[in-house]
Amino acid sequence: MSGNSGPLWQLWRFFAKKLHGLGASAFRMAVEVTDLVVPGQCPGCGAPGDLCSGCRKELRAVPVRFSPRAPVRARAWACGAYAGAHRGIIIAAKERGSHRARELMGMVVLAALRRLVAQGEVMPPSITPIVLVPAPTRRASARQRGGDPITLACAFAARQEPGVVVVPVVRTESSTKDSSELGAQQRRANLSGRIVPIVGVGSKKLSEVRQLCSDATVVLVDDVATTGATAAETELVLASLGVRVDLVVVVARA
Ligand SMILES: [Zn+2]
């Protein structure tokens, strides 16, 4: 493609216009486009074929505002409950390393953001850029799964929408335990002090990140929120780096 006026570019602009801010219908269209990519098994429920109509419908649910038990300052939104298709794609992405499921997670997050833009909760990314900050993952578990699903999902979302970028800022130290069996207080204790910046404190990179985020809507993105402990701790760490979180978006709320 050469320049900004070729036929492919015009086609892209046509789709970008169609997709922008249309909420559910944009999501349906985008999902149909990605359907062409990988046939096989429904990532939501395992039925033969690709994403089945039941899961597709579930994944189009309107995002719901929620109040995490942990003290999260930013407004928090869940794309669905941790059940059915939402749970299916999270497990397929995390435990089976499904590329398709990661893309769907990215689409679900993007559809939620588009809807929040349409509702006036978030400025359109064409006016104020949206920075997606993936919630921290343990390095070891990300390696086992062939890459961190949330970062990959955010990257997929960003590729679909001009004005949306992904900026990984934090990770968890490898001594952090898997929190799935822990209660609320234990989760916070497990995470306290263990979410660390990826970018060097005082580095040029950090000042660039801070600058980028100060002029953007900063969205912390995670797969599942149980108590909100990860979001609360991440928010504190980001605040210590001079980065304010405006919004938390999770694929599912447990
Ligand atoms: Zn299904």
Ion ligand 1, residue ranges at CB < 5 A: 42, 44-45, 47, 52, 55
The segment with the largest mean pLDDT, out of 21-25, 32-36, 173-177, 221-225, is 221-225
Q: pTM of the predicted model, to two decimals?
A: 0.79
Distance (angstroms) between ligand 1 centre and the Cα of 59 equals 10
17-40, pLDDT tens digit by residue?
444 433 434 444 444 444 434 458
Whether the per-residue pLDDT at 179 is higher than 70: the answer is no
Mean pLDDT of 129-157: 85
CA 50 to ligand 1 centroid distance, Å: 8
Closest CA to 145 of 196, 92, 108: 92
pLDDT, the chain, mean: 83
How close is the Cα of 212 to the center of ligand 1, in Å?
38
Q: What is the mean pLDDT of residues 34-47?
A: 72
pLDDT digits (tens, 9 = 90+) for 59-78: 999 999 999 999 999 999 99
Q: How far is the CA of 204 from the centre of ligand 1 (A)?
A: 46
Cα of 42 from ligand 1 centre, angstroms: 5
**Could you report the per-residue pLDDT of 195-207, keeping only the tens digit for each?**
988 887 778 889 9
Percent of the chain with pLDDT over 90: 62
Cα–ligand 1 centroid distance for 127 (angstroms):
36
What's the gap in Å between 3 CA and the centre of ligand 1?
A: 41
d(CA 44, ligand 1 centre) in Å: 4
Q: Select the more confidently predicted residue: 122 or 205.
A: 122
Residue % of the chain over a pLDDT of 70: 74
CA of 140 relative to ligand 1 center, distance in Å = 30
How many whole angstroms from 80 Cα to the centroid of ligand 1? 15
Ligand 1 centroid to residue 158 C-alpha, Å: 25
CA of 46 to the centre of ligand 1 (A): 6
Quick one: pLDDT band at residue 226, thresholds 50, 70, 90?
A: very high
pLDDT by residue (tens digit) across 125-140?
A: 999 999 999 999 876 6
